[in-house]
Amino acid sequence: MNAELEPTITFFNGTSTIGGVQVSVRSGNSEVFFDFGVTPNPSGALFSRSSPAPVEGSLAAHLRAGMAPHVEGLYDLTQLTPTGGSVASTIEPMAGTGRMLSQTSVLDHAENTAIFVSHIHNDHCELLPFVSPDVPVLMSADSAALYTGLTEVGALRATPAAVRGLVEGEHVAIGGMDLELVHVDHDIPGAAGFILQAGNRRIAWTGDWRGHGHAPERMAAFAERAAGVDLLITEGTTLRPDSSPSKPLSEVEIAERVDRMLAATAGLAFVTPYPRNLRRLAGLRDAATANGRTLVLRHETLAGWRAAVRHGLSVPQLDDIDAPIAVLATGDSDTNLLAGHTQVTIDDIRANRGDFLVELQVPDRWVALAVGAGPDDVLIHSNGQPLGSWDPEWTSLTAWVETLGLDFVWLDSGGHATPDDLAWLVETVRPGAIAAVHSAHPQLFPRTSAPLILPVRGQSFTLSQPIAPALGTRSADSERTMIPCVL
């Protein structure tokens, strides 16, 4: 094996927590980073919804909190100090003896560097506003359209970097490396992974994916393209000690169940979807229309959808934005975002209880009080916030449902691969090794014919070097403890 062609892989974040994957592959003077978000999990990061980063000095705060890669040249330095700064000088307050970053090394980026973003969920793209204008950002064309639309309406901050949208199968040269974009199926438009030829190795990254969504054929195509890669890096979100063997609902089943519930409900109907799951929103629109109702969305949700379509989002069913959809107009609504939309008021909903299916997110629960919601009404919770019973916000949701006496239906069809799906992918791809990220319990990855690498945050390695015990692998025949291994 030619050592000069052997790429170095560094796992900066996202190794033992859900979200916040930050990995780089470097070969010679070429390097690609993926992804570029932060974990929302308070146990895996210092900043979260309950403890947000400051608006001013946000880049410096993320670097000092260890939530962004400590790599010189990746960032827009004007965001560190008015006259520009460096990563090393920025983290200095936390790098002293005995402090959190005392063992942290600050690396230099390669001469040819790019960032790949698999999809537009915050835990994969939240650091984009900090990227240097000199570092290109790669993502699928649909992700680029969605990102542009969401930044246009203020749902996300824009990046100073140039964003390049790639089509399925498109190849991009990053110095001496070759990256091929491959679409995957996730609960957001534009999700994609890649196959990377880096030196003498082929490495595949799935991004977030599932086998029960709208386009399972994408995963079969990904597995075919990735066949025989030296390293397969995949998410493992659903891995946990209490994992249920039950099969998740498909998107088709979600739409069918919503249709049946609306047909059986004469009163108010509320729904809590994830706002960027636009295919789910389209299904809710169609179910509402079939039952004589109009889907009523928050102004941010509808404006982001329309802006993404305007910027080229090409997903089937999503471009029919003129179908019957309305926006909820309240006293605090942004009049600019309301422009051009059919508007529905609180009074309209109160007077015509059976005419609407109303999006009800956490900040808008007061609407249920304003329209007099009660035992004759239904709340369909479908992968919006809170994301599950483990979320602290779930207690609040339960209190609202029980206090108002609502009929509560939880239709859960998440965006992540089941343990069985993970095993299928590995046995289909037959990689030289697997690395599981985006998981609180990567050691629970199902046993397969390929050795499992359990990366530790901040460590670098090559596939031909002896892996340190702290990093570890688990082979098909080993116990679940981490042991040294040569791949």
CATH number for the domain that contains residue 158: 3.60.15.10
Per the domain annotation, does 246 fall within a domain?
Answer: no
Tell me what pLDDT residue 234 has. 98
**Smallest Cα–Cα separation from 42: which of 51, 34, 33?**
51
C-alpha 75/C-alpha 102 separation (Å) is 21
Residue 235 and residue 19 in contact, taking contact as beta carbons nearer than 8 Å:
no
Are residues 118 and 229 both part of a single domain? yes
C-alpha 294/C-alpha 274 separation (Å) is 18
Strand order in the sheet with 171-174: 171-174, 177-183, 192-198, 201-205, 231-235, 434-437, 452-453, 473-474
Amino acid making up residue 477 = D
**Smallest Cα–Cα separation from 138: which of 73, 219, 71, 193?**
193
Are residues 75 and 90 both part of a single domain? yes
Per the domain annotation, does 181 fall within a domain?
Answer: yes
Are residues 137 and 88 both part of a single domain? yes
Question: What domain range is 18 assigned to?
Answer: 3-241+416-486
Residue 140 and residue 165 in contact, taking contact as beta carbons nearer than 8 Å:
yes
Per the domain annotation, does 478 fall within a domain?
Answer: yes
Per the domain annotation, does 71 fall within a domain?
Answer: yes
Domain endpoint, select from 381, 410, 439: 410
Q: Which residues contact 56 (CB under 8 A, 6 or more apart)?
A: none
Structure tokens at 88: 């090393």
Amino acid making up residue 451 = P
Structure tokens at 91: 């983290």
Residue 75 DSSP one-character state: B
Sign of the alpha-carbon dihedral angle for 278, 284, 288, 289: positive
Are residues 211 and 225 both part of a single domain? yes
Tell me what pLDDT residue 316 has. 62
Which residue in the block uniquely carries the two structure tokens 């019973």? Answer: 389
Per the domain annotation, does 189 fall within a domain?
Answer: yes
Per the domain annotation, does 429 fall within a domain?
Answer: yes
Q: Which residues contact 89 (CB under 8 A, 6 or more apart)?
A: none
Are residues 22 and 109 both part of a single domain? yes
Tell me what pLDDT residue 97 has. 87
Residue 485 DSSP one-character state: E
Instruction: Report the greatest alpha carbon distance in the chain.
Output: 74
Which residue in the block uniquely carries the two structure tokens 């824009």? Answer: 158
Residue 17's region, left for phi above 0, alpha for psi from -120 to 50, else beta, is: beta
pLDDT tens digit at each of 487 positions of the chain = 566 679 999 999 999 999 999 999 999 999 999 999 998 877 778 988 778 889 889 999 999 999 999 999 999 989 987 667 899 999 999 998 899 998 889 999 999 999 999 999 999 999 999 999 999 999 999 999 999 999 999 999 999 999 999 999 999 999 999 999 999 999 999 999 999 999 999 999 999 999 999 899 999 999 999 999 999 999 999 998 875 666 788 888 999 999 999 999 999 999 999 999 999 999 999 999 999 999 999 988 998 998 999 999 987 665 555 568 899 987 665 666 556 678 999 999 999 999 999 999 999 999 999 999 999 999 999 999 998 877 778 999 999 999 999 999 999 999 999 999 999 999 999 999 999 999 999 999 999 999 999 998 888 989 887 454 445 555 444 433 333 333 3
Residue 320 and residue 280 in contact, taking contact as beta carbons nearer than 8 Å:
no
Tell me what pLDDT residue 322 has. 54
Per the domain annotation, does 172 fall within a domain?
Answer: yes
Strands (E), 175-224: 177-183, 192-198, 201-205
Are residues 376 and 466 both part of a single domain? no
Are residues 317 and 432 both part of a single domain? no
C-alpha 80/C-alpha 84 separation (Å) is 6
Are residues 198 and 285 both part of a single domain? no
Tell me what pLDDT residue 359 has. 97
Structural domains in the chain (count): 2
Amino acid making up residue 262 = L
CATH number of the domain where residue 338 is located: 3.40.50.10710
Residue 248 and residue 412 in contact, taking contact as beta carbons nearer than 8 Å:
yes
Domain endpoint, select from 378, 410, 442: 410
Are residues 189 and 317 both part of a single domain? no
Are residues 103 and 141 both part of a single domain? yes
Tell me what pLDDT residue 333 has. 58
Domain endpoint, select from 377, 410, 443: 410
Are residues 111 and 181 both part of a single domain? yes
Amino acid making up residue 228 = G
Are residues 216 and 257 both part of a single domain? no
